[in-house]
Amino acid sequence: STLYNWRGVVCYNRHVFKLRLPQLQLGFRLTDQLCELCALRKLNLHSNNFNGSIPDVLSQCTLLRTVYFLYNSFTGNLPAYVFNLTNLLILNVAHNYLSGKIAAIIQLFLWSIDLSSNDFSSEIQSNFSTDSQLQLINFLYNHFSSEVPTSIGYFQYLQYLWLDLNQLYENLPSTIANCSSLIHLSV
């Protein structure tokens, strides 16, 4: 059978456009062949028990708009190149075993970032862009330690913010009042 008939694979102009294979419990490492899918826009591999690190070759998938890697067993750092994928709108790597520091989140077009239930331990970056489009930030249940940066007030579109179950200092900066779209705040 052709690739066009595979469940979870969406093609357009003879290229794989979407790869949606959630909850199959595949349980292996992602390989470099993944990014031979040069037209890939949406990648949903949640709940598959993938292990090892997130492959560096993913940086070649420059057209990616959504990445759902939640509920797997990924380890190691979240690669810095993720924040250089200029088309990326949604990044969800919740419920893995990722650790270390987070690179500066300066990507202007990211709408949603969910890093919850991992083992990240860095400070929350303070150099957020004033033009950020972020609507959802979920850093719940990690080991982030710092003050919540005053630059959080730049997020005029931010609707949901979860920072609880970390090691953050208690006080929120007064700039949080600038987040006029905020619907849910949990610290």
Average pLDDT of every residue of the chain: 86
Q: What is the pLDDT of residue 186?
A: 94
Residue with tokens 């982030």: 144
pLDDT digits (tens, 9 = 90+) for 35-78: 677 788 999 999 999 899 988 888 888 999 999 999 999 999 99
What is the amino acid identity at position 164? Answer: D
Residue 119 lies in a domain: no
pLDDT digits (tens, 9 = 90+) for 128-144: 777 788 999 999 999 99
In a domain, 80, yes or no: yes
Domain membership flag for residue 44: yes
CATH number, domain with residue 33 = 3.80.10.10
pTM: 0.90
Assess if residue 141 is contained within a domain: no
- Give whole-number Cα distances, 86 to 34, 53, 107, 152, in Å: 19, 22, 7, 21
Q: Confirm whether 156 is domain-assigned.
A: no
Domain that includes residue 49, residue range: 3-100
State the pLDDT at residue 80. Answer: 85
Q: Does pLDDT of 1 surpass 50?
A: no
Residue 26 lies in a domain: yes
Neighbours of 98 (CB within 10 A): 24
* Overall domain count for the chain: 1
Write out pLDDT tens, residues 95-123.
999 999 887 665 668 899 999 999 998 88
Query: Would you say residue 8 lies in a domain?
Result: yes
Any domain includes 172: no
At 178 the pLDDT is 93
